[in-house]
Homo-oligomer: A and B are copies of this chain.
């Protein structure tokens, strides 16, 4: 059955899921690039983010690539989609990713402010969902047509789905970086009580990769 998966989600050694002070020049927040060094080293991210060859094979690439396999739809929090807050002033913001975004499929963006769907090149359509996380998941599952749904983040959205036990599997990369402040992914969340166990862990020179799966999740 279709799973809800978090993939390639990176946290710092001190547990933060994003750098602070995200803005148009720092889509990953300050020090976000250091956090994501493992991902930037992979052919998958080089290709998807920058449209270029590069990167190298290995554990990091294995995890990056698995994150794009069998994905039929995406869910993103609004801050993942862009730096605009509050009501949309106009339709000019079209995401961080240029005319041909990395998603190549339906993307459901959680927001409190309605907006018409945005059809991009390469098969990506952004749908703006104002009815909350359950509605977004239902719409994404339907759009995924049997494939899995990937939850892209950010931290707050992942935490909301975690608390509701709706995430089947999470690949988390712990980067050897200290951020000091920001949003802690696991703050106040009792993962074993929610049914999660660590089912896999592997190390690369740039990250400790772990997979957390919920017991009782569909296979």
Interface residues of A (CB under 8 A from B): 13-15, 172, 174, 176-181, 186, 189-193, 196-198, 201, 203-205, 208, 210, 212
18 example contacts (A-B, Cβ-Cβ < 8 A) are as follows A13-B172, A13-B174, A14-B186, A14-B191, A15-B15, A174-B174, A176-B210, A177-B198, A178-B192, A178-B196, A178-B197, A178-B198, A181-B190, A181-B193, A203-B204, A203-B205, A203-B208, A208-B208
Least Cβ–Cβ distance between A203 and chain B, in angstroms: 3
* Alpha-carbon distance between A178 and B185 when the two chains are bound, in angstroms: 14
* Alpha-carbon distance between A174 and B179 when the two chains are bound, in angstroms: 17
The interface residues of chain A, by DSSP majority, are classed as: loop
Least Cβ–Cβ distance between A118 and chain B, in angstroms: 37
Contacts of A197 in B (CB 8 A): 178
Contacts of A174 in B (CB 8 A): 13, 174, 208
| Nearest chain B residue, comparing its CB with the CB of A200 | B176
- Contact between A178 and B208 (Cβ–Cβ < 8 Å)? no
Contacts of A179 in B (CB 8 A): 192
- Contact between B176 and A201 (Cβ–Cβ < 8 Å)? yes
- Can you tell how many copies of this chain the complex includes? 2
Q: Which of B178, B191, B212 contacts A191 (CB 8 A)?
A: B178
Contacts of A208 in B (CB 8 A): 174, 176, 203, 208
| Nearest chain B residue, comparing its CB with the CB of A211 | B176
Least Cβ–Cβ distance between A21 and chain B, in angstroms: 14
| Nearest chain B residue, comparing its CB with the CB of A184 | B15
* Alpha-carbon distance between A181 and B192 when the two chains are bound, in angstroms: 9
* Alpha-carbon distance between A85 and B39 when the two chains are bound, in angstroms: 48
* Alpha-carbon distance between A94 and B186 when the two chains are bound, in angstroms: 38
- Contact between A191 and B186 (Cβ–Cβ < 8 Å)? no
Tell me whether A178 and B13 are in contact in the complex, defined as CB-CB below 8 angstroms, given that A203-B204, A204-B203 are known contacts: no
- Contact between A13 and B210 (Cβ–Cβ < 8 Å)? yes
Contacts of A210 in B (CB 8 A): 13, 176
* Alpha-carbon distance between A210 and B178 when the two chains are bound, in angstroms: 11
* Alpha-carbon distance between A204 and B192 when the two chains are bound, in angstroms: 24
Tell me whether A176 and B193 are in contact in the complex, defined as CB-CB below 8 angstroms, given that A13-B210, A203-B203 are known contacts: no
